[in-house]
Structure 1
């Protein structure tokens, strides 16, 4: 009979021989959460351009732009919201990218520093749950695009038998294509994040060409921007035009929903900036490409929806590109089917890009730090992808107003976490990190605090969540709340971010944590060595001390080779 110990040993994440000579795998450390050596840091400035093109041009961004009109905003007002929202997103992403780019560790390690070694599980679990939710949602969109693509080849797919009741908001072909999208995603999860540069480049080119082709085709066919640009916009949308104070709060809520829709990506941006070849690689590229792609995706979504309303008035507003492509095929000839095929193929590639990198792998990174001895990024990504089915994404995207409420709601819990992390790294610790202590869960670590919990973090987090939580409850239920609470919720991400940041900073100044300003005396993990060095982390560069595994070991549950740390 096989013992329990043997089974657990068999389930452990495999470790490379050369890495085992440097550090031992433990419940706090594995290859995927250790500080990255130079040979694994492959993302230059253009890699981040490709990343944000691939994740910025997507179905949810397209739909989110159109959904702003449901708040009673005109197209001009919606675009103003998109401009402000995306500029704020870019600023936030640059701030949350600093930690990863400068110290080459990601979101889970940052939370160990801010929350404490044990309390860091709380934000990790929140982020994992959100990864599963968004993975399911984007996989559903991907399934819809796949259905459109298959429909351009086999139109009979639209006449498949439907075993589901109308209340599920889907039919048999929807479900089949959703499952097929998940199956096709599995082999793509095998690619490690450090090798995403070429896939991102390919995905960004394909998706950019596709959306701009649809944009120019819509403008040419409609001889302009369509009826939503004119005075009849609100009548077509079916909502009353927001005016006065209502308009101001609608704009504020629109900005919050823009940030809420990507609040998870803002929060764990360091998971990808840690792959930067240089700390500056992520700054200018993200500052420019994030607002550019976000604004253009919003504009293209609105214009294409508007022109579709002009030519297909009986179909209602076609918010999603896959519904637009389906209607174009049904009302066109062979040429339309060919165009729908290539457009659907481009959107399908884009959905694979955003869902794998932005959701499945992001959740895998978090799981790899939650259970590092048994889960690596690849195993975690498989788990997140499999969880897409029980998440029932068809219920999350049943309408524009539901979708925008979901986007804004996430910020209630994640924005305060983001504010605390930024305040801690930049203002409390002055961007100094003791990397070795991020992997020690004992009182010797400066990040152990009291029993593994930095009490300042939960206090600051609760203070940031409290003002917007009543509004969140009201948005997902029938609870009645005062007008002031509604306005606080409309401020969403910004309010939660700044309250928690200020409270955390104040608590840290009044009761400073131990170890402020401390860094390792040696580059224990070989993180800052020569990029031309060998594979083994900790064995990079020419300044490695002549030390052995036995007489130079740290207490990270395993020995490490050391070299002088950078100045």
Structure 2
């Protein structure tokens, strides 16, 4: 078999009725084309389930540990969480507008700001993060699976360990990690638009579990435990922050709240594009993100505090799987049953956050990077990349790894700011969808040979102030106290600076086609595609007879869009 035939076999297979359309451009396939109404199934409750699932998880539970380690009291830490989560909600609404209004995701939005070819740069950043976070969350999932199996078969904690101590894991850890990946594989074949019901069910289960553990802890300790009292700092092992140190610790905590989910903020449009109506994502995110983020952190602090009272020899059990293992170790048959159901709930949550938050996002990004060869189904199989990434080494007290991941907002926040400012202030929320799939001078997003030179300039301006502090946080490089303080503001500072610089450059040197939209709905994004074939030839030379006249417009959320046909 020659090379051409092998490559042909590897190409994404399209439906017969779609093949003639998709093969016209190497820049699109069925998974990155604007979604038609038939695939937009997420209502407001769907986003409630999505954010409950992504909010109530192991990472959110352990969030209080990083805040208390800054020298904040529990009250101060919770105030930081409330402010940070409210800012996260606001940022998610802004980044969700593009997807909800035009029904394409982050990879396509990139093209409007960076240019057709330059959009590869932020896309590669997001793909690298999806690989890393997928590996980390899969490792956490394996740990929860271990407590689940341990509640039924306690001998798993004593199974043979073929690994040396330097590996930072034992045989049970590795077995459960591999089992988690294997169980994940069938789930990645569910089309993402159909995740809305599983998300809602998972959100209900994980929320019920967390509150059950919370009320059990309060009842058992007759209060919040020692971390709530004056001895909290001694237990955590840090000095209480005061004065200017306290102020900067608060700023650092707020920015870290946003940094922990900076990748999710950036690619939020990957999920809001499934919205039935542009407003479906707004009220859900306004309410659910701050509430669930705050409650999850509070529950994690209280449960860890109570555990410190009853299991003092175990240390501070910030991770819920460590807490559940301690409960089983010190309890009886009833404790084993409770650990089983709690582990099962956390396991559902880990499947939800890892498949949706990492695997699906990575699949969407890869489908846009190599649309001829990869679709979402092939792309999400990159969850198997978790194995060669050795997450057990990454999370085993690797403070550099944690600092790098938390500080990656230094690079992602400027990208986010540019895209939001460009869409709202420069383009006035108007998009020419057909130009997103045409890499030629006739596309308004081609700019200079496929590169919008304003973008890298604005991005560097946003990264530069925080970069010295970031470098110091992940290495032995010494920087001034002022540079460290600037780094504590990396997300809001980078977002604003890059956004403002991008707008200024776009005002001084206005790009072409700012106010342009397609004359015809060539993708059937807002209704059944009908119309004369010459309308299609005006766009990207597709040969199907599609197109809906833009005379059928209505104003949806401030955006001119073709009317959806009932």
The TM-score range, normalised by the shorter chain, is: over 0.9
Which residue of 1 is the match for residue 542 of structure 2? Answer: 558
How far off is 1:166 after superposition? Answer: 2.5
TM-score norm. by structure 1 comes to 0.95
Which residue of 1 is the match for residue 196 of structure 2? Answer: 197
8 Å contact kept, 1:256–1:408: no
Q: Deviations over 1:485-509 (max 9, x none)?
A: 1011111211110110011011001
How far off is 1:417 after superposition? Answer: 0.2
Distance 1:481 1:389 in 2: 36
8 Å contact kept, 2:22–2:30: no
TM-score norm. by structure 2 comes to 0.95
8 Å contact kept, 2:115–2:452: yes
Q: Deviations over 1:410-465 (max 9, x none)?
A: 10110000000000000010001000000000000010000100000000001111
Which residue of 1 is the match for residue 561 of structure 2? Answer: none
Q: Deviations over 1:139-194 (max 9, x none)?
A: 01000000000111111111122222333322111111111111110110000111
Q: 1:129 to 1:551 in 2, by over 3 A?
A: closer
Distance 2:213 2:27 in 1: 48
After superposition, residues 372-383 of structure 1 pair within 5 angstroms as 372-383=371-382
Question: Does the residue aligned with 1:224 lie in a helix, a strand or coil?
Answer: coil
Question: Does the residue aligned with 2:489 lie in a helix, a strand or coil?
Answer: helix
After superposition, residues 105-116 of structure 1 pair within 5 angstroms as 105-116=104-115
Q: Deviations over 1:27-50 (max 9, x none)?
A: 200000000000000000110001
How far off is 1:292 after superposition? Answer: 0.6
Which residue of 2 is the match for residue 122 of structure 1? Answer: 121
Superposition RMSD in Å: 1.4
Q: 1:62 to 1:403 in 2, by over 3 A?
A: farther
Which residue of 1 is the match for residue 445 of structure 2? Answer: 447
Which residue of 2 is the match for residue 410 of structure 1? Answer: 408
How far off is 1:402 after superposition? Answer: 5.7
2:408 is equivalent to residue 423 of structure 1: no
8 Å contact kept, 2:520–2:536: no
Q: Deviations over 1:296-340 (max 9, x none)?
A: 000000000000000001110001000000000000000000000
Q: Deviations over 1:63-92 (max 9, x none)?
A: 112321111111001101100000000000
Which residue of 2 is the match for residue 280 of structure 1? Answer: 279
After superposition, residues 2-401 of structure 1 pair within 5 angstroms as 2-24=1-23, 26-383=25-382, 385-399=383-397
How far off is 1:526 after superposition? Answer: 0.7
Which residue of 2 is the match for residue 512 of structure 1? Answer: 510
How far off is 1:557 after superposition? Answer: 5.6
Distance 2:409 2:399 in 1: 16
Q: Deviations over 1:196-234 (max 9, x none)?
A: 111111111110111111000100111110000000000
Distance 1:9 1:394 in 2: 38
How far off is 1:552 after superposition? Answer: 4.7
Which residue of 2 is the match for residue 533 of structure 1? Answer: none
Which residue of 1 is the match for residue 472 of structure 2? Answer: 474
Q: Deviations over 1:4-47 (max 9, x none)?
A: 11111111111112223544353200000000000000000110
List runs of 5+ in structure 1 lacking aligned partners. 530-538
Deviates more, 1:58-67 or 1:403-412: 403-412
List runs of 5+ in structure 2 lacking aligned partners. 555-566
Distance 2:475 2:175 in 1: 31
How far off is 1:99 after superposition? Answer: 0.3
8 Å contact kept, 2:64–2:297: yes
8 Å contact kept, 1:26–1:372: no
Q: 1:488 aligns with which of 469, 486, 489?
A: 486
Which residue of 1 is the match for residue 560 of structure 2? Answer: none
Q: 1:323 to 1:25 in 2, by over 3 A?
A: farther
Q: 1:207 to 1:403 in 2, by over 3 A?
A: farther
